[in-house]
Amino acid sequence: MSSNSFSYNEQSGGGEATELGQEATSTISPSGAFGLFSSDLKKNEDLKQMLESNKDSAKLDAMKRIVGMIAKGKNASELFPAVVKNVASKNIEIKKLVYVYLVRYAEEQQDLALLSISTFQRALKDPNQLIRASALRVLSSIRVPIIVPIMMLAIKEASADLSPYVRKNAAHAIQKLYSLDPEQKEMLIEVIEKLLKDKSTLVAGSVVMAFEEVCPDRIDLIHKNYRKLCNLLVDVEEWGQVVIIHMLTRYARTQFVSPWKEGDELEDNEKNFYESDDDQKEKTDKRKKPYTMDSDHRLLIRNTKPLLQSRNAAVVMAVAQLYWHISPKSEAGIISKSLVRLLRSNREVQYIVLQNIATMSIQRKGMFEPYLKSFYVRSTDPTMIKTLKLEILTNLANEANISTLLREFQTYVKSQDKQFAAATIQTIGRCATNILEVTDTCLNGLVCLLSNRDEIVVAESVVVIKKLLQMQPVQHGEIIKHMAKLLDSITVPVARASILWLIGENCERVPKIAPDVLRKMAKSFTSEDDLVKLQILNLGAKLYLTNSKQTKLLTQYILNLGKYDQNYDIRDRTRFIRQLIVPNEKSGALSKYAKKIFLAQKPAPLLESPFKDRDHFQLGTLSHTLNIKATGYLELSNWPEVAPDPSVRNVEVIELAKEWTPAGKAKQENSAKKFYSESEEEGDSSDSSSDSESESGSESGEQGKSGEEGDSNEDSSEDSSSEQDSESGRESGLENKRTAKRNSKAKGKSDSEDGEKENEKSKTSDSSNAESSSIEDSSSDSESESESESESESRKVTQEKEKKTKQGRTPLTKDVSLLDLDDCQYSCICTNKNSRAASSNEWKRTSCPLFLSKTALHFW
Amino acid sequence: MIHSLFLINSSGDIFLEKHWKSVVSRSVCDYFFEAQERATEAENVPPVIPTPHHYLLSVYRHKIFFVAVIQTEVPPLFVIEFLHRVVDTFQDYFGVCSEPVIKDNVVVVYEVLEEMLDNGFPLATESNILKELIKPPTILRTVVNTITGSTNVGDQLPTGQLSVVPWRRTGVKYTNNEAYFDVIEEIDAIIDKSGSTITAEIQGVIDACVKLTGMPDLTLSFMNPRLLDDVSFHPCVRFKRWESERILSFIPPDGNFRLLSYHVSAQNLVAIPVYVKHNISFRDSSSLGRFEITVGPKQTMGKTIEGVTVTSQMPRGVLNMSLTPSQGTHTFDPVTKMLSWDVGKINPQKPPNLKGTMSLQAGASKPDENPTINLQFKIQQLAISGLKVNRLDMYGEKYKPFKGIKYMTKAGKFQVRT
């Protein structure tokens, strides 16, 4: 920090009183203070003079002090005119600080803020993209309604800017304008639509954020960009990734059918009943193949997987919730390892992650069982973390691990953190009810705890034992007697109330003790807690009904005390009980049934996880954490019964799609819709029926992956060649074709093999199904046979070309990690024709041979 | 997304506020203070607090609460992770992140925050870009600035934001080109009364300090990459390369950064390098308790264990302790009941030992539980999992860099129950 701030600090030290004075006048600071108004004015005079001086250093000094005031929440709005004059300053730091000031106060001083607008308008036309971007940033941050049209215009222009950085800022500006003036929604949606098409990774995150804020319901805008977003995802900056993944999760839940097997049959049956007038073929298909995953669905799941390795906890959590909500249940298991890794992180991260794990572990124990020990509690954990871990341990408890867990719990019960010890006792209670083998062990253990020295522990044990005993029809007279003795020593109201209730409930089993307890309680009635008083009344009533000889007078005494109690609940209860149990001339028909009412068999309470009801919220959201619907929470829709038309996600393929469309169409008139995705996705050669095809879609996903992993050799040779592609592609189209061919030769062969393999696979898997599909299969088989090698190759070329035309969302980007960098560079360069292009080109030139040499190095 | 940020010190003063959208009144923090009061301890304050119109998400680090105010649904980890990033950035800029330092550098802090978020959405969070935008204050620069009147704000516009390697600034130049990698492994363990291991895992990180000119492209390979069970990478690491070849290939950021953090698979048994023998007993009748701890080496692969400290939170009933250590120094704070023993190096021939008596509150019953012992230690030149770096290669630049690698094993959350 410069000496300026030093001097500032000294001054602020001296002028403490004056600053306090300002606080009093300001609207922001609630803490009122007193001060000398005159000196306050004087100080600001001094700042004004500095701002008007000719020297930049004085201005800077003044601005720094003003920013200091803003930071402390003091009002500096009266300096507005003096500050705003400096908006056009040549000094960058002054300028920046003026921006900070403007953004903070423009809302309050709208008229004066207008003075600065022309400066920004000029800057918007600056040849330097960074200046354009920052001008747009500040202009859009000034919340002055009058300039809405200007902002709109600026956003529109910026969204067509050649620089992706400026476009990114335009995406940010959309949200700002929308919050300033929601009327502009329609126009802004147009801009969003345009920016969604953007292929730059810089823009993707920001525009999806804008989409989520402005028009999250316009899911139709996503269709055409879905595959591109999936493919770009890995290269988007981490914050953007979080937003995009959340959005795509919602999207997937509206566009694909459920991959979860359990519900499948049921759903299908329903469908067959209800949609009788639907396309017959589709229905038969459905019946034969309960579920086939859409290849786009698979694409999303596959492309998010690497992000589990992100260093950013938010990204990992986002992927985890995506897997949880949209992947087949068998695949969701991979997220647990990454989530457990996050537990090493900061306290706050742990808290959120544990909450989510708690919800998950209720539904699918198996996922986290291998990591049981990671949830063991350390004495240094904060209490909230401890209780969450306990919660998870309870959810994971089963017959196999319960003995280990109980041993662990024994340690926890002794913890110095009594709140935690109490939570542990509750946990033991829950384990006891969930796992019948250990109920008795747990009960015995809890009874032992009754002799514990700590009152909280004893009280909690009493409450839990009460619940356990209620569940068990077995006689536990001994325990009840033991607890009756405890009444003398325990003071915690809940525990006392529990004991009384328990005695009342079992009063016929402990006929000697119960009246005595009532006698004692009658003595201390007036000094008891309300909760206990209510239970004394209950106990009295129950004894009156069962053993009125001994307790009649006692009960009446208690009822009299209750009649004049301060608490109206207790007075009410007293009145009610008296009318019900004490026979008199006015007593209604009900008093006959008093015994039945009081001593009815009560259903045992269910000891449930507090996280049970959280699963209707999307995991990883604020609403889930709070278990309340937060403002702006977007419900995750249920899976549609029938997938909406998947062809909406197809992007028009310009020339070559036609070439092989008819071939495909001829064979599968019933499922033309799925066929594009295939062609783009994998260049898959199996064109079979709708079902076998979409199945192969999901399979091909896997296969593609295994291809990548297993065959590193070929993969990286591809690397290098496609590297060249992307470079030469920029130079000429002709070159492009040639390299594409070369590329495809390398890949083509293996791919066509793949294709055949796949056909076989689909055949075998389909053979179990009905005949129609097998017929289709054979047709696809014959097709693959009829295709000579050369033909398949030429097709490969066409596909390769398609890919080229759609740079950025081709799977190539994904397959070839080294290409990633260059690929984005590409979009950067072709759009951004300013001086930077030259330098980045240079970087590429140096880097390309480098990659080649490196890959070469690894082969030899 | 993030509306405002308040920085609150441990005594409950708001000493900095920053708003990215319209101004949110400070009074919103009252809800936070309420929660803080209820929690009694700072680390028990819930990270997410709902209020009628806002939600407060907070992070507690360096005795400062960073409270973000948000208004609508947002993934909570998004905000929390961002706040941690803010703290890391401050630490990176000022060396330490404390209230006086933030107050002294309030202008830089403000400028940094302004760049990190735009309308509440993260804009530039990579320290390389930020440092290009706003130069961190150094003594030299302060002096130069006063003399020449130049500023902390970079006069060049940041190029990093535009490049495809946003984590690396352009035009890096060094006369000495060096790349250092520290492999640091932490052992998290819970040891039970009898000395057997209840749970033990190894969490490792590779921290790098890379000062290389130009745009170097590095590859780092391991002798035994199979050891790594679960990894998370700095964004610069090429994921595909790791998947296929188990090689780390990356264009490094300039300066210090965490390249990789990993978890060593649970199948491998973790070697516990120390043992703790303890004999802590309270007697019902007398007001004195016995206390004895011995720490000794075990499975250290011939390396010495250094920097050993033992801490233990004693039960409330303990009034004072009179102990004699065979080496090192010990302190007992009668208010917080915290015993700490700074042992230093362990000599295998003569394992250090701390022995003595505890005086208990007269008349009070004996504590139910013996205290847990927390252990800290360091072992230089050893990665306990056995992980070894094979080689580091550089491509893309002509010069020959100086390369260094260091191994270290530390205790993470290492607890011994007694």
pLDDT score for A566: 87
Supply the DSSP string of A658-712, one letter for each residue: HHHHHHHHHH-GGGGGGHHHHHHHT-------HHHHHHHHHHHHHHHHHHHHH-H
pLDDT score for A242: 92
Q: Computed over its alpha carbons, how large is the radius of gyration of chain A? A: 36
Tell me the nearest-neighbour CA distance from A314 into chain B, angstroms: 5
- Residue located via tokens 């035309």: A805
Q: Which helix (H) or strand (E) holds A170?
A: helix A164-180
Q: Lowest mean pLDDT of A91-95, A153-157, B57-61, name the range.
A: A91-95
Q: Do A854 and B219 touch (CB under 8 A)?
A: yes
Q: Do B161 and A165 touch (CB under 8 A)?
A: yes
User: Best of B53, B104, B119, B261 to disrupt the A interface by mutation (most A CBs within 10 Å)?
Assistant: B119
Q: Lowest mean pLDDT of A58-72, A536-550, B260-274, name the range.
A: B260-274
How many other CB atoms are there within 10 angstroms of residue B388's CB atom?
Answer: 14
Find how far residue B295's CA is from the centre of its chain: 26
Q: What is the mean pLDDT of chain A?
A: 70
User: Best of A622, A716, A834, A843 to disrupt the B interface by mutation (most B CBs within 10 Å)?
Assistant: A622
Reading the block at residue B89, the tokens are 């950035």
pLDDT score for A266: 41
Query: Is A168:A203 a contact under the CB 8 Å cutoff?
Result: yes
Residue A404 vs residues A345, A480, A751, B372: alpha-carbon distances, Å: 26, 29, 52, 20
Tell me the nearest-neighbour CA distance from A28 into chain B, angstroms: 6
CA distance A26 to A73: 9
For the purposes of burial, counting CB atoms within 10 Å of the CB of A362, is it exposed (0-12), middle (13-18) or buried (19 or more)? buried
Q: Do B72 and A9 touch (CB under 8 A)?
A: no
pLDDT score for A702: 42
- pLDDT digit string (tens) for B115-140? 888 888 888 888 877 887 777 776 66
Query: Is B250:B237 a contact under the CB 8 Å cutoff?
Result: yes
Residues of chain B with CATH 2.60.40.1170: 178-270+382-416, 274-380
Top-confidence residue, A623 or B166: A623
CA distance A812 to A718: 10
Average pLDDT over residues B333-345: 88
Count residue pairs from A and B with Cβ separation < 8 A.
302
Residues of B in contact with A242 (CB under 8 A): 75, 78
- B17 Cβ contact partners less than 8 Å away, ≥ 6 residues apart: A71, A72, A73, B4, B5, B6, B7, B26
pLDDT at B184 over 90: yes
How many other CB atoms are there within 10 angstroms of residue B20's CB atom?
Answer: 23
- pLDDT digit string (tens) for A3-55? 344 444 444 433 344 444 444 344 443 443 444 444 455 567 778 888 777 77
pLDDT score for A649: 79
Residue A373 vs residues A343, A602, B268, B376: alpha-carbon distances, Å: 12, 38, 15, 21
- A681 Cβ contact partners less than 8 Å away, ≥ 6 residues apart: A295, A299, A697, A700, A811
Top-confidence residue, B11 or A673: B11
Q: Which amino acid is at A178?
A: Y
CA distance A358 to A335: 14
Q: Do B161 and A242 touch (CB under 8 A)?
A: no
pLDDT score for A846: 41
Of A370, A376, A836, the CB nearest to B162: A836
Banded model confidence at residue A67, pLDDT cuts 50, 70, 90: confident
Q: Would you call B322 helix, strand, or coil by DSSP?
A: strand
Query: Is A73:B17 a contact under the CB 8 Å cutoff?
Result: yes
Q: CATH says B178-270+382-416 is which class?
A: mainly beta
- pLDDT digit string (tens) for A330-387? 888 888 888 888 888 888 999 999 999 998 888 888 888 888 888 998 888 888 899 8
Q: Do A91 and B151 touch (CB under 8 A)?
A: yes
Average pLDDT over residues B159-166: 61
Closest residue in A to B364 (Cα) is A453
Domain made up of B2-148: CATH architecture: 2-Layer Sandwich (3.30)
Supply the DSSP string of A532-559, one letter for each residue: HHHHHHHHHHHHHHH-HHHHHHHHHHHH
Q: Do B243 and A630 touch (CB under 8 A)?
A: no
CA distance A373 to B135: 45
Q: Lowest mean pLDDT of A23-27, A506-510, A613-617, name the range.
A: A23-27
A380 interfacial to chain B (CB closer than 8 Å): yes
- pLDDT digit string (tens) for A561-614? 888 888 888 898 888 888 887 776 666 666 677 777 777 777 777 777 777 777
Measured between its terminal Cα atoms, the distance across chain B in Å is 47
- pLDDT digit string (tens) for B383-397? 888 888 888 888 888
| Cβ contacts of A281-286, under 8 Å, gap ≥ 24 | A281/A670, A282/A670, A284/A770, A284/A772, A285/A670, A285/A689, A285/A690, A285/A691
pLDDT score for B10: 83
Tell me the nearest-neighbour CA distance from B38 into chain A, angstroms: 13
Q: Do B23 and A28 touch (CB under 8 A)?
A: yes
CA distance A731 to A234: 27
Q: Do A311 and B104 touch (CB under 8 A)?
A: no
Give the CATH superfamily of B274-380: Mu homology domain, subdomain B (2.60.40.1170)
pLDDT score for B81: 92
Most confident of A663-672, A733-742, B5-14: B5-14
A232 interfacial to chain B (CB closer than 8 Å): no
Residues of chain B with CATH 3.30.450.60: 2-148
Q: Lowest mean pLDDT of A129-133, A260-264, A286-290, B272-276, name the range.
A: A286-290
CA distance B363 to B286: 9
Beta strands (DSSP E) in A148-190 are: none
pLDDT score for A729: 41
Could you give the ipTM of this predicted complex?
0.90
CA distance A287 to A760: 22
Give the number of C-alpha atoms closer than 13 A to the C-alpha of residue A415, restricted to the C-beta side. Answer: 24
Residues of B in contact with A333 (CB under 8 A): none
pLDDT at A430 over 90: no
Q: Do A348 and B59 touch (CB under 8 A)?
A: yes
Residues of A in contact with B107 (CB under 8 A): 1, 5, 64, 67-68, 97
- pLDDT digit string (tens) for A465-477? 878 877 765 667 7
Reading the block at residue A375, the tokens are 């949830």
Find how far residue A614's CA is from the centre of its chain: 13
Of A71, A164, A352, the CB nearest to B106: A71
CA distance A576 to A553: 18
Q: Do B395 and A234 touch (CB under 8 A)?
A: no
- B202 Cβ contact partners less than 8 Å away, ≥ 6 residues apart: B185, B186, B187, B188, B263, B264, B270, B384, B385
Query: Is B253:B172 a contact under the CB 8 Å cutoff?
Result: no
Residues of B in contact with A166 (CB under 8 A): none
Partners of B310 in the β-ladder:
B341, B375
- A260 Cβ contact partners less than 8 Å away, ≥ 6 residues apart: A328, A329, A639
Q: Do B219 and A73 touch (CB under 8 A)?
A: no
Which candidate, B267, B303, B272, places its Cα nearest to that of B379? B303
Query: Is A687:A668 a contact under the CB 8 Å cutoff?
Result: yes
Q: Furthest-apart CA pair in chain B: how many Å?
A: 78
Q: Do A352 and B219 touch (CB under 8 A)?
A: no
